[in-house]
Amino acid sequence: MTILETSGLTRRFGYLTAVDSLNLIVAEGEVFGLLGPNGAGKTTVIKMLTTLLPPTAGTATVAGFDIRRRPAQVRASIGYVPQLISVDGALTGYENLLFFAKLYGVPGTLRRNRIEEALKFAGLPEAADRQVRNYSGGMVRRLELAMAMLHRPRVLFLDEPTVGLDPLARQAVWQQVRLLAREYGMTIVLTTHFMDEADALCDRVAILNLGRVAAGGSPDELKRSLHQADATLDQVFAHYAGQPLEVEQEGNYRDISQTRRNHARLG
């Protein structure tokens, strides 16, 4: 069953076309990866699908609701973990969870159980009463993922979930993402520019380049399509994007400064 569909989704910023008539279909229960270098339009796609940014042309349906005409219903059925830090450092882990449980209208009777479950899921029961500003980068990310599952969204959007994490913390986040898909039946749409991440997590991927889909399919299909023994997704990317990863499109100054600041905070 299709849970997310975009038709001719386009976004222009002045003369720059960040996303160029994008057509995607994501089936329910899938882990779908949007791949591409910085500036390929991944984050813009996510922002449009989460109703943060109105499309210039085209539209999309998420969980059966049109993002242009019924944004409130879309917001009620999705979860979102932005690239930048989205927890409040001055609050404890427990309070952050409580805050979002209340904001999402999780009924009072369910709230306590849900929060306990989320803390266990994030592996943070002992750290629940510590202020988040004293957490490590990996703990912050795990908490953010746990916050996104409190209200049982049908579709979960993760924008570069492992950016700035050390290998061990990355593994923990991957484990969580797999759990969300398998145990909770969530559809997950994630962006990344790490090919190993896409390989490890995604059922299907779309490689974006300059706002267009350069290639799509399961990681294995894409690797096979190169007709080359033991091709990696990196090579697939280089093949379809017409260039090796991260050469020219480095994103703008604002992106870079935000990413670096994020790295500094998480590190």
Partner 1 sequence: MPGLVDPPLSQVWPVRWLGQCLTLAEMELRKLRHDPTELLTRAIQPALWLLVFGEVFTRIHAIPTGDLRYLDFLAPGVLAQSVLFIAIFYGIAVIWERDLGLVHKLLVSPASRAALVLGKALSAGVRALPRRALFICWPGCWV
Length of the chain: 267
Q: Does 174 bind partner 1 (CB under 8 A)?
A: no
**Amino acid at the residue 92:** T
**Residue 91 near partner 1 by CB under 8 A:** yes
Q: Please provide the DSSP assignment of 220-262 as one string.
A: HHHHHTT-STT--HHHHHHHHHSS-SSSS----HHHHHHHHHH
Task: Name the residue nearer to partner 1 (CB basis): 112 or 224.
Answer: 112
**Of 9 and 53, which CB lies nearer to partner 1 in the complex structure?**
53
- Per CB under 8 A, the list member of 57, 120, 125, 184 interacting with partner 1 is 184
Is residue 104 near partner 1 by the rule CB under 8 A? Answer: yes
End-to-end CA distance of the chain: give it in Å, rounded: 40
- Binding mask 128-147 toward partner 1 (x if CB under 8 A, else -) reads ---x----------------
Amino acid at 50: T
SS3 210: coil
Of residues 8, 16, 66, 90, which one binds partner 1 by CB under 8 A? 90
φ/ψ of residue 188, rounded to 5: -120, 130
- Write out the two tokens for 217: 């399919």
Q: Which window, 3-11, 83-91, 192-200, 222-230, contacts partner 1 (CB under 8 A)?
A: 83-91
Q: Token digits for 116?
A: 């306990």
Contact between 152 and 101 (Cβ < 8 Å): no
Taking the complex as a whole, the smallest distance from the CB of residue 171 to partner 1 amounts, in Å, to 23
Give residues 154-173 in contact with partner 1 (rule: CB under 8 A).
Answer: 154
Chain residues in the site for partner 1 (CB under 8 A):
50-52, 72, 75-78, 80-88, 90-92, 95, 99-100, 102-107, 110, 131, 151-154, 183-186, 258, 261
